[in-house]
Chain A
Amino acid sequence: MKPVRALVITGYGINCQEELAAAYRLAGAAADIVHFNELLAGVRSVRGYDVVNFPGGFSFGDDLGAGKALANKMRFCRLAGGRTLLDEIAAHLQAGGFVLGICNGFQVLVKCGLLPNVGGNLEQEVSLIVNDSGKFEDRWVHCRAEQPPHTPFLKGVNILALPVRHKEGKLVFRDDHIRAAILDQGLCALRYCDPDGKIATEYPARPNGAALSCAALTDPAGRVLGMMPHPEAYLSSYNHPDWARRRAAAGGSEEGEGLRLFRNIVDHIRRNRP
């Protein structure tokens, strides 16, 4: 059977491409790490890939605001046929493909209008601004998935422990209409919570002050997922700060909880293949 194919974009300060590619490989997919410019130059294309990934990192050093300069490239730079990379991604989604953006990747998706895209016109509807603490922070948090999940990435997921590592992760809405649409359509895919699943509204359980304690957004079709926490940083149980004790509790499993998302999407794509 043809393998599920994941495209992992890199370059310009993206830096989580290796672990993201490893996540897909561990989940049984084939993953290619491709430089952003190879897509622009037409050397490589998003066509033929099932899921296009925007990894974490500091594209352009967060100058102009996190993810902004890379989003500009998606909007402004023209490929040989005159289309932009954003056009290509939109076509990829139209054709049934998936898109995942993590941390800086989420910031890119938000700033080029792919998320939440409730208006369907790829306009920027929300933003991810500087955390209330004013700081970059690396800490482990808990997130609870919206039930039932609106996106196949989160099928069967309830509470997840994951690290956040960002300075600009506070979600804000352009207006109340966008907020209402996100709530009505269940697009707030993950929310920061305490270990028992109670929605967190205080620092540090909600690390950034995000509206609705929202840690991840999906689009109305459930094909695009953007999230601040890093599932690709929890592929093995030994990533968790308390692995020594959890190992005994998990009955010896060495799989990290973050791998679940990748298994989900790979299985979903495989099952729904014509």
Chain B
Amino acid sequence: MSALHHITCTWNPELPDARCAAIRRQAERHLDLKLNGLKHVALYAVRADLTDSDLARLAREGLSDAVAQRVGLNGLPAGCDGYAAFILVEKLPGTTDDEGLSAQRTLHDLLGVPFSPAPQEVFASDLYLLEDALDEATLRHLAAELLGNPLVNKFTCGPVARLALPVPAEEAAAEPRVETISLQVSDRELDLLSKQRLLSLDRAEMKAIQAYFRRPETLARRCQSGLPPEPTDCELEILAQTWSEHCKHKEFNALIRYVDRETGREETIDSLFKTYIRASTLEIARRLEAAGNNWLVKVFSDNAGVVRVDRDRLFVFKVETHNSPSALDPFGGAITGILGNNRDPLGTGRGGAVLLFNTDVLCFGPPSYAEPLLPGQLHPRRVFAGVRQGIEEGGNKSGIPTINGAIVFDPRYAGKPLVYCGTGGILPDNYNGRPAWEKEIAPGDRIVMAGGRVGKDGIHGATFSSLGLDKHSPRSAVQIGSPITQKMLSDFLVEACRRGLVKCATDDGAGGLSSSVGELAPLSGGAEAWLERVPLKYPGLQPWEIFLSESQERMTLVVTPEAGPELAQLAKLYEVEATIIGQFTATGLLEVAHAGQPVAQLDLDFLHDGLPRKQLEAEWRRPEPPEPEIPDQLNFTATLLQLLASDNICSREAVIRQYDHEVKGRTVVKPLMGPRGLAPQDAGVVRIGFDDWRGIALACGLAPRLGDLDAYQSSAHAFDEAVRQIVSVGGQLPEPGKLGESTFWCANDNFCVPDSAYDPDHNPDGKYKLAQLVRMCQALADMALAYHVPMTSGKDSMKNDFRAGAKKISVPPTVLYSVAAAIPDVRRTVTSEIKAAGDGVYVLGRSGAELGASEFQQLFGPPGGCVPAVRPAEALALYYKVMAANRAGLIRSSHDLSDGGLAVALAETTFGTGLGLRVAIDPVADTVDHPDPRRRLCAALFGESPSRFVVTVRPEHRARFEEILGAAAVRIGEATADPIFRIAWRGQPLVDGPCTDLLQAWQKELLA
């Protein structure tokens, strides 16, 4: 064995250490722990035979900052005896260690040898020295809360006298072993087998597998191929992964008996996906085609949807969720989520899209959550902080701007957060004349695995994400993404595709090679994988683990044997490992071998179509909770301030600033705009390139609160919100009669719902929950057809429950619509903040007496009463007018009305502008249809009726604007030069004060 050396890099005591300062602040704030002195030491353990001079050079020149750090060699860092206690934070064996690997690169550069990531020779860890003599329990608590996560880190702590330098564990090699599992057992034993092996397969599915392995033709062929009659571990794992909810969307494809107790109607729905999502999009495609338009290029059948920008460019867009992993390890879950989602556009068609933007929508428990935590449950504040950091590192380090997003708080997300990650990219129309969006495979083509190496990380991710969470959730499912590995992979892939070397690319995500090879195999009619060729991070993996591992930053590429050498050469230049690990065939089989020994052999027909249909029951009854009382005497200024400072409305600036939202230099409408960069915007807008002004607008809509009263409206609102935000910024919807001239719109749907399969014991309200999902899907179809906005891709997540004993925390059924649309000229987009004194202020759209589930109502009790309804025909008529006014350049600022209603939206348009507003609410309140004037006033100020905007118009454009909008626009006042915010009613001031007061309330610190 090679010698073990240690290098310590200690912060220069003369310089401030911002990292330790932040830890001390957080310890005091969140753990009530005042740390007097804290010192950080970067520690590298190097297992390599080095000369003294090479070791010294590695330490002094390679690993330390000559100005900011002090170096120590082969011993404890100088000065550590001045401290009382220590915490050493190492990575658990097999966990991503990017710092160690980067140090290893430097070592290999220094030695002048080609870089190799395995075996790992440099291990990075963090040593913290504390002045306070804290006891071991406190140190452990500090470590687990602020310095790492026990699922990915090893903590050692105690008095400094006990500090010893770390000795990295070595992975032991293991003989490859293939286990055979007998399925000739009772039904109960089949259930047990599924549970014990974490297969997540139900009895019907287990019996289908049992039957397959009893077929005479199966048995005969297995005998011929040298496989045992019973399934191998690898085969069962492949089936479990392929048939997982995550991969096959069993509930969205189930037969559902739906009973509507409101109408008394009963019906059978043959797949929610086919009935609502696909059917509505196919109808829109038919209408577009009939009008001679062809921007809808590829829907549902690839990793991301594809629409056309222009003759030379396509737009690919995908949004996914990464909820379960983010609940266990918020940082690792989120970074893996965003990087994993990036690989979907990258792996669409032939591959190699250039990624243009990210979007992230997050749902957490409130930061002030005060319920006792259940075993295994992390506090929402920690989840928020970790997820935020994961998205920062995943997005920023990949050089992809995060241009849009949302954060929603509700106590029901405290068990499992929702982490939606989306990415859009630009794919060329073709590579060397071959359509870039098509996947093409012929027998004999090679399977290439490119990117990171394979370890034990993330085994069972696909099956695990299809389960509810509890404290026994598998630890091996936690992965930490490596943005640098992926960035190098994507740079390589873009170039390889550009050169026409790649016939097809796909992501190795959930299910690993099993999923990617298994899904590609039908394109040629079969595939065989040779596992001994797969590069491993360390020895000791069993064949099934190699095939199923979800080690990140990998993609599967398809290349012809002739293109292999050029691809290999390019990979070498880009320092990316790309290895031929098998080939495609026409045998109708998925075959896996390890060093010539067969490990798995499954019929593709059975693998993909052999699983039994699920049958589920749904029953809808409208919940009718009472409406909370609104007090007679309301202080409107105080109410507005309270709303502005509420968790769901207050500023996201602290989060937004930590995401790079303008790398690539193309972001035109950023999340915050205006002279001081403080005014929140509706949709993000990016330019596509530097040679023209074409762009893409991106928005997101979700309204989970409404689902407590009406799931249909919750979905319809979410859809309307995303579309109106794009209309607000200047988007042009396809109009009937002008479909032939329309430019692209595309939506992604992401349903995240609690367990909706009825079970009298475990899920007694399952039928209602499924009915909520049915109604959300009905709204999707109605809205998509009304607005001519097709779904091009999506992903659902079905079991968002956290269980501990008899307790269960279930998320509210939540659908996110992420909508992207072409912007022909980004210079004509409209931002939300008011621009000049004297401009007229208008409210567009109808305000109803519908306060149900509004943020305003929430101030007074749980939701009840009348939920605002989307009226698509009325909304569209308004949108067409807004579009016409924008085409004529008549709208100077535009903000859509959402949480908190008109009063909040008006306040937001002033932030950072140095201007004020003087408006009278009467013209809006008078149109609200309700007998009680006070009720009309509350609805006008704080109601959340959909499909509305507040806009400003230059005085010289007033007449033309009013002519186009007609009665849909209500003039309520004008922008003023003094920064005072005034709302009057019946001639009396309701709100009257400096805009800075509103801004200050809104700038609440959400996450310290």
Q: Is B105 an interface residue (CB 8 A)?
A: yes
- Chain A 27-38: CB-based contact to B (< 8 A → 1; otherwise 0): 000000001011
Contact across chains for A64 and B63 when beta carbons are under 8 A apart: yes
- Contact status of A78 and B19, CB under 8 A, knowing A63-B98, A64-B63: no
Segment of B187-195, B673-681, B734-742, B751-759 in the binding face? B673-681
A13 to B488, CA, bound (A): 7
Q: A73: which B residues are within 8 A, CB to CB?
A: 105-106, 109
Given the known A-B contacts A22-B665, A63-B98, A72-B109, are A136 and B396 also in contact in the complex, defined by CB atoms under 8 Å?
A: yes
* A38 B102 Cβ-Cβ under 8 A: no
Cβ contact within 8 Å between B105 and A60 = yes
Interface string of B208-246 (1 = CB under 8 A from A): 000000000000000000000000000000000000000
Residues of chain B having any CB pair with chain A under 8 Å: 15-19, 21-22, 61-63, 65-68, 98-99, 101-103, 105-106, 109-110, 112, 124, 392, 396-399, 482-484, 487-488, 491, 573-575, 656-668, 670, 672-675, 677, 687, 690, 826-827, 830-831, 833, 835-836, 892-893
Given contacts A72-B61, A242-B675, contact A64 B574 (CB under 8 A): no
Q: Is the CB of B106 within 8 A of A72?
A: yes
Return the CB mask of A130-141 against B: 1 if under 8 Å, else 0: 111111111110
Task: Give the chain B neighbours of A41 by CB distance below 8 A.
Answer: 573
Q: Is A16 an interface residue (CB 8 A)?
A: yes
Q: Are B573 and A35 in contact (CB under 8 A)?
A: yes
Are the C-beta atoms of A12 and B674 separated by less than 8 Å? no
Q: Chain A residues near B673 (CB, 8 Å)?
A: 241-242, 244
Bound state CA distance, A137 and B659, in angstroms? 7
Best-surrounded residue of A26, A124, A165, A234 (most CB of chain B within 10 A): A165
A129 to B19, CA, bound (A): 10
Please determine whether B99 and A63 come into contact, CB atoms closer than 8 angstroms. Answer: yes
Least CB distance from B44 to A in Å reads 9
Contact of B399 among A57, A172, A236, A241 (CB under 8 A): A57
Other than the given A61-B483, A124-B67, 12 more pairs (CB < 8 A) read A10-B491, A15-B398, A16-B665, A19-B690, A35-B491, A61-B102, A73-B105, A127-B65, A138-B662, A165-B663, A242-B674, A244-B830
Interface hits, A28-70 → B, CB 8 Å: 35, 37-38, 41, 43, 56-58, 60-65, 68-69
Chain B residue at minimal CB-CB distance from A124: B66
B111, closest chain A residue (CB)? A76
Q: A64-B106, A134-B18, A172-B15 are in contact. Are A11 and B491 (CB under 8 A)?
A: yes
Residues of chain A lying within 8 A (CB to CB) of residue B893 = 244
Find the residue from B17, B61, B575, B665 having the highest chain A CB count within 10 A: B665
| 15 pairs, CB–CB < 8 Å, chain A vs chain B | A13-B399, A63-B103, A63-B484, A64-B62, A64-B63, A65-B68, A72-B62, A73-B106, A75-B61, A127-B66, A129-B65, A138-B659, A140-B677, A232-B665, A239-B668
Q: Which residue of B22, B112, B664 contacts A134 across the interface (Cβ within 8 Å)? A: B22
In the complex, how many residue pairs between chain A and chain B have their CB atoms under 8 Å apart? 194
- Asked whether, in the complex, the Cβ of A13 is within 8 Å of the Cβ of B106, the reply is no
Instruction: Please give the distance in Å from B339's CB to the nearest CB on chain A.
Output: 12
For A241, the chain B residues whose CB sits under 8 A away are 670, 672-675, 677
Interface size class of A (residues with CB under 8 A): 35 or more
- Counting chain B CB atoms within 10 Å of each CB, which of A14, A22, A64, A239 scores highest? A64
B21 surroundings in chain A (CB, below 8 A): 134
Which residues of chain B are within 8 angstroms of A38 by Cβ–Cβ distance?
A: 573
In the complex, the 5 A-B pairs of residues with the closest C-beta atoms, listed nearest first: A15-B399, A19-B665, A63-B102, A127-B67, A61-B484
Q: Are B574 and A35 in contact (CB under 8 A)?
A: yes
Chain B residues near A35: list those with CB within 8 A: 491, 573-574
> Does A91 belong to the interface (CB within 8 Å)?
no
Q: A77: which B residues are within 8 A, CB to CB? A: 109, 112
**B residues within 8 A CB of A64?**
62-63, 99, 102-103, 106
Task: Tell me the minimal C-beta distance from B494 to chain A in angstroms.
Answer: 11
Give the contacting residue for B110; candidates A76, A233, A242; CB below 8 A: A76
A174: interface (CB < 8 Å) = yes
| Inter-subunit contact A129/B103 (CB<8 Å) | no
Once bound together, how far apart are the Cα atoms of A111 and B60, in whole Å?
12
Residues of B with C-beta under 8 A to A140: 677
Nearest Cβ on chain B to A254's Cβ, whole angstroms = 8
Residue A273 is within 8 A (CB to CB) of chain B in the complex: no
- Inter-chain CA distance A141–B22, complex, in Å, is 24
Are A18 and B664 in contact (CB-based, < 8 A)?
A: yes
Can you name the residue of chain B whose Cβ is closest to the Cβ of A18? B664
Is B690 touching A235 in the complex (CB atoms < 8 A)?
yes
Contact of B662 among A126, A129, A233 (CB under 8 A): A233
User: Which residue of chain A lies nearest to B664 when distances are taken between CB atoms in the complex?
Assistant: A19
Chain A residues with Cβ below 8 Å from B491 are 10-11, 35
Q: Provided the pairs A16-B399, A58-B397, A137-B658 are in contact, do residues A132 and B16 lie with their beta carbons within 8 angstroms?
A: yes
Nearest-Cβ distance from residue B928 to partner chain A, whole angstroms: 32
- CB-contact partner of A233 in B663, B674, B677, under 8 A: B663
- Give CA–CA (A119, B560) in the complex, Å: 55
The residues of A that contact B482 with a CB separation of less than 8 Å are 61
Residues 227-267 (chain A) with a chain B CB within 8 angstroms? 230, 232-236, 238-239, 241-245, 254
- Report Cα–Cα, A75/B61, bound state, in Å: 9
Complex Cα gap A69–B109 (Å) = 10
Contact partner, B483, options A58, A111, A165, Cβ 8 Å: A58
- A90-128 interface code vs B (CB 8 A; 1 in, 0 out): 000000000000000000000100000000000111110
The yes or no answer to A163 lying at the interface (CB within 8 A) is: yes
Nearest B-chain residue to A43, judged by Cβ: B573
- With A64-B102, A241-B673, A242-B675 as known contacts, state yes or no: A58 contacts B399, CB within 8 Å: yes
Tell me whether A37 and B662 are in contact (CB under 8 A): no
The verdict on A137 contacting B18 (CB below 8 Å), with A62-B397, A238-B668 known, is no
Complex CA distance for A245 and B835, rounded to whole angstroms: 7
Given A37-B575, A127-B68, A244-B835, A72 and B18 touching (CB < 8 A)? no
Query: Could you tell me the distance in whole angstroms from the C-beta of B69 to the nearest C-beta in chain A?
Result: 8
B663 near A130 with CB under 8 A, answer no
Residues on the A chain within 8 Å of B397, using CB: 13, 58, 61-62
Inter-chain CA distance A25–B690, complex, in Å, is: 10
**Do A37 and B67 touch (CB < 8 A)?**
no
Q: Which B residue's beta carbon lies closest to that of A55? A: B399
| A12 with B665, Cβ < 8 A, contacts A134-B21, A140-B677 known | no
Give the CA-CA distance A43 to B830 in the complex, in Å.
Answer: 47
A15-B487 in contact given A76-B109, A134-B22 (Cβ < 8 Å): yes
Selected from B17, B19, B675, the residue in CB contact (under 8 A) with A245 is B675
**Shortest Cβ distance from residue B835 to the other chain A in the assembled complex, whole angstroms:** 6
Please pick, from B574, B663, B687, the residue contacting A37 in the complex, using a CB distance under 8 A: B574
| Selected contact of A174 from candidates B66, B396, B664, B670, CB within 8 Å | B66
Which residue in B106, B575, B664, B836 is a CB contact (below 8 Å) of A69? Answer: B106
Residues in chain A near residue B17, CB distance under 8 A = 130
- The residue in chain B whose Cβ has the minimal distance to the Cβ of A204 is B657
Q: Which of chain B's residues have a CB closer than 8 A to the CB of A68? A: 63, 65
Whether the Cβ atoms of B15 and A58 lie closer than 8 Å is no
